[in-house]
Each structure stands twice: as C-alpha cells, then as structure tokens.
Chain A
C-alpha cells in the first residue's frame, strides 16, 4: 500500500507539488497565527524578565507590569532598602504616551530607570548618558525612519535618540529615559499640573544579597511596607501573560479554528478529487479482492505522504512570512518553533490526513468492481 501511495505521488509530480504547496500554505497560515500569539506572550514575559530583578515591588494590589498604573510612594524605597537581605531597590517608572509624527500615532511605553531596568540590549548607538537621551525600540525607528541623534518629541518635550533597542510587548514599542529626563519632561512640557497625578515611582527592582532567602525577604518587605506588594519577576510575567490570553485568546482561537477547518477541507478536497479520478483503479483493486480497509489505508497513506512533503514547505513558507512581518514591523515577534504549538500543529496535520482520507471513503465504497471490466 505504501508503494501504491508513493507511485501515485510520482505519477503526476506537478499535481503532487501543487497539492503540497496548497497544504503547505494552510500549515503556514496556522503556524504564523499560532506563532504570532505565542510571540505576544513571549514578549510579555521577556519585558518583565529583562528588567533583571530578584524581586519586583508593585503598588499594593497591582499584579501586572503592562497596561496598568502602579504608583508607589517615593519614601517606600528607603523602607524597602532597610529590610534585611535587600541590597538595592532600583526605581522604575512606566509612562504610556502616544508618539505622533507626520500625523501617525503610535502608543509607546516609556520606562524611566535609574541604574537598573534599562534596555536589555542596545543594537545601535549607546545607552542613556544625560536627561535628554532616549533609547527607542527598533520598530519605532523603522516606522518613523528615526536615526541616532534625531529628535524624538514626547508631548512637546525634545529628546535625542541615543540608542536603538529591541523591546516591545503588547503590540507596543518601548522607549527608555532616565529620571532627569522624566523630570524635565514633566516640568518643561507641563505634562501635569500636579506632579503627584503621575506615578513618579511605579515599580522597584529589588536586588537581593546572594545569601538572602527570596521568599522570606518578600514577606518581610510586605510586612514592613504595606503600600507595596512584592512578587517574583516570573509571577509578574505570568500575570501579564494571563492578561494577554484574555485579550488575544478569543480572537486567535477563532481564526486558528477556521484555519484548521480550511486545512481539513483542502486535504479532503484533494483526496476526494484524486479518488474520483482513479475510480477505475479502485474498482480494479476491489475486483482483485482488496478489502475496504486496505483501500482506505492506501488513501490515508497517500494523504500522509502529501503532508510529509507539505510540512517542510509550510514551515519554510511560515518562516518567510514571519521574517517579512518582523522586518516590516519589528514590534511583532512570530515564534513558530514554540515546542507545544509546533508539535500541536504537526499533530493537527496528521489529523488532516486522516480526515482527508475519510472524506472520499463514500466514493470508494460506491465504486463497483464491475467497472474494472469497462474501458475508461
């Protein structure tokens, strides 16, 4: 039966290739969509983990890093640092702004940092040296064709781009400034009449002594400083991912389901069409005494073979699409090779083969062995 399936594929290589490309396109659609969703979650995770903290202090009852307002009293920094085991509590402030240039608007998450919590890597230029410097995500640089040294206006205040980084999450590019920059921004642009309106301190990145017990220190800080909650970066990242799943889950779930239906339909259509065109051959096999199970196995193996050719094509196509999207707009990350999703898609492809082989089953059942003696 394997030989029959192989021979069938070799009989018309152009048709086999066309079929494999169609199936490959379906697999690519699924992989890109799943990869997009996984990429979003990965970015949400990395944006927290890249701050490189042992523990993170948030405003009491605030459990997220992204898309949330966290405001901690400034005096609490000294209180946190006074707890045994804490070496430093590095301040970080998050300011969401809408960057506008040439009438094109982009939401940007500006992270203000002191010594820690800045950009995880600088791919071009240098880190912040003075209050006017800003490090921006590459997607912003590309979108607005911003070069190093160019002006970058945030609510009328002029920063100079000193570096380019690669940090984005929740479909938003990030930018980094220091506290001198933030104060200048607030005062000079009269961003807020009452500075207390703005969170001057959003999070604290807590650096622990090497021998400190992380859980114990977290409990001590929460007991000593009631205005803050203390979580591990992993917990905070997990909370953001869960929030992301509420946002992306229904949309991506629906689209991926449709893509799976298309996959099954395409395999089914191809196998149905193939079986119809070889009805005479099936009649001959039936006349020769081949049981239905064997004939079904032949069709299943053939669809499996097509998918084995289609899967590498699909992966290749998905990689090309992902590269194109990431190049055109680096704010997105498409993680095609996320192990769970990747294996899930491959498993689904085998399910396509099975279902695809089931669709023409009725045609095989109805093929008459008497047809074997008729001329085609």
Chain B
C-alpha cells in the first residue's frame, strides 16, 4: 500500500515538483519574515554588542540604547572612574536623527567620540581612517554604496556638513545605521555642555561586573548601571517586540497557504486515483492503511517543499544582501526547527480533506465502467 502511495506520487514528477515549489515558496516567505526580523533585531544591538564594555551607565530610568535618550553629568563619569575595580570609563554622546546623504534622507544613530575614545568607535573599517578633526564623520560602507557618498564627500546632520573620512563595516541596517562624529561636534548639535549620553565602563580583571553595576547604582545618584549582557538583552527584546504581531500573522497565513497547497495536491491525486483506491478497498485493504498512505503522500510532498525551502534559506538567502545591501538577513536554526514543526502541522492539516474523501469512497465504484 505504501509502495502504491510512493509510486503514484512520483509517477507525476511535474505535479509533485510544482506542489513542492508552491509549499516551499510559502515557507520561504515565512523564513524571509523571520530572517528580516531576526537580522534587524541583531543589527539593532550591533553597536553595543561589538563595543562590549563590562558595564553600561546611563540616565536613571533608561535601560537600553535603541531609540532611547540619555544624559548624564560629566562629574558622574569622574566619580565612577575613581571607584575601586573600575579600569576605565569611556563616555559617548548619542543622538537619533535624520541625516542627509546625497539625495537620501534617512534615520540614523550618531555617536559622538572623544579624541581618545577609539574604544567606542567603529570596530571594523573597510576604508579610510579614524576621526582626527572637527567636521569629520565615519559612515557605514553600505550607506556609502547606496548613496554614492564616499570618502571626501559631504554628509549633513541637521544644519552641519561633515566630511566623510572613513567607511565602517557592520554598522548599517534599515533600523539602525550608526555614524561616528567627533564629540565636540555632536555636543554643538545638541547644544549641550558637560553631559554624556552613556558611560562605557571597563572593570579590572576579577571584578564582578554585576556587583559593581549595583554599587554604581547605589553610590551615584540618578544613574542606571547595567552589566553588558542585561543591557543587550533589553535592547534586543525592544527590537524583537516591534513587529512581532505582523510576523506571527504572516507566519500563520503562509502556513495556511502551504496547508491549502498540500490539500490541493493530495486531493487532486486522490480524485485522480479514486478508482484505483476503490479497487484497493474492494480487495480488502483496511481504511486505516489507506489513511496512512494518504498521510504518507502529504507528508512526502510537504517534506519535499520543506527541504527546498531550507536549501533556499541556507544557500540563497545569505547572498541576497549582495543584491539588496540594505537588508540584514539572519536565518537561525531555531526558526528552521520551528518551521519544521509548522510543516508537520501543515502536512496533517493538508491531509484532512483527502483522507476524508478516501474513507468515504465506496468500494463498489471499483466495478463501475
């Protein structure tokens, strides 16, 4: 019986491949949604993740960086620097704003760096040099590629023109493009003096960052201090929850679509082979065995589609940012496993209608001409 199921399915490879492709593309859409979401979420934390101080200090009531605004007195940085166990404190200024690069206006995160604060600057440069003078900016290489603004060109932040002196890599995403400018310039844009946005605290070897963060919170008034992991977790969870409802709904509808394609394929197959199935029934094969055979067919079609989508995810998606460099796509094993579970449910739901048809089929129809 299972051999019949196998043979009848593979006898029409065109139908099988077409159905598998339809299912695969529905799954690919789900993978894409997740990859974009995952990629953008990861990229949102790219700056703090790569800078990686042991402790982040910020204004009280603030607990992350993405889309946040924080200001801390400069004397608080000195106070923290003098605390036992603190190796160094690197202050940064930080601003979310719209920038103008060529003809493109886009949302960006601007980090103001003190002259000796390369520790908080770009972690990977693809061209050019670090900041040395006022009026200079380091922009992501992807932004340069998209806008045509390269080294030596001008870029505008609010009412100030900056000259591009370096291109950084790993600092671009649709939601979180990171630019670096001299501290003083950003201070002027913000009209601020004597304040920092975040303090990057590195601790001495052997010091417990969590305990030191708690000590900073207790001893320095009106600041929040978080160990690096907790800070990243806050930023990542903020990014992840934005758009989650859309992702869930689109995953659901794409799964329904895949189930409908499975049902359609299996139903078409069953309807075409109904006389054969009637003969099989007339020969005494039990309903249960026929049911399992139909399930096997839907399972195989779904598996075929799932394999195509996984192959696509692993071998094609990584190359898509070459065509669309604005996108950061990350396919996680976790999402593929989740999709596997969805595929299993899809196979079962897709089998419901055809199995119902098969079980109701009258063996007497085997003798109709």
Which residues of A come within 8 Å of B, CB atoms?
A: 12, 14-15, 18-19, 21-22, 25-26, 28-29, 32-33, 36, 59-64, 67-69, 71, 95-98, 100, 104-107, 153-156, 171-172, 189-194, 196-198, 239, 242-243, 246-248, 250-251, 254-255, 258-259, 261-262, 265-266, 268-270, 272-273, 276-277, 317, 321, 324-325, 328-329, 332
Contact = CB atoms under 8 A, between A and B. Distances in A.
B342 interface: no
A266 B259 CA distance: 12
Given A247-B174, A272-B15, A255 B249 contact: no
A98 B64 contact: yes
B166 interface: no
13 contacts: A33-B250, A60-B159, A67-B107, A68-B97, A104-B237, A171-B242, A246-B104, A247-B106, A254-B32, A254-B324, A255-B29, A269-B264, A272-B18
B12 interface: yes
B36 interface: yes
B63 A98 contact: yes
Interface in B7-54: 12, 14-15, 18-19, 21-22, 25-26, 28-29, 32-33, 36, 40
Contacts of A172: 67
Nearest to B20: A269
Contact of B265 (A61, A95, A273): A273
Interface residues of B, number: 77
A67 B29 contact: no
A262 B257 contact: yes
A22 B61 contact: no
Nearest to B71: A192
B117 interface: no
A52 to B, nearest CB: 23
Contact of A25 (B59, B67, B195, B257): B257
B257 A156 contact: no
Interface in B217-241: 222, 234, 237-238, 241
B285 interface: no
B192 A196 contact: yes
B3 interface: no
B105 A242 contact: yes
A69 B222 CA distance: 24
B19 A269 contact: yes
B289 interface: no
B306 interface: no
A194 B193 contact: yes
A256 to B, nearest CB: 10
Contacts of B127: none
Contacts of A197: 71, 190-192, 195
A93 B174 CA distance: 26
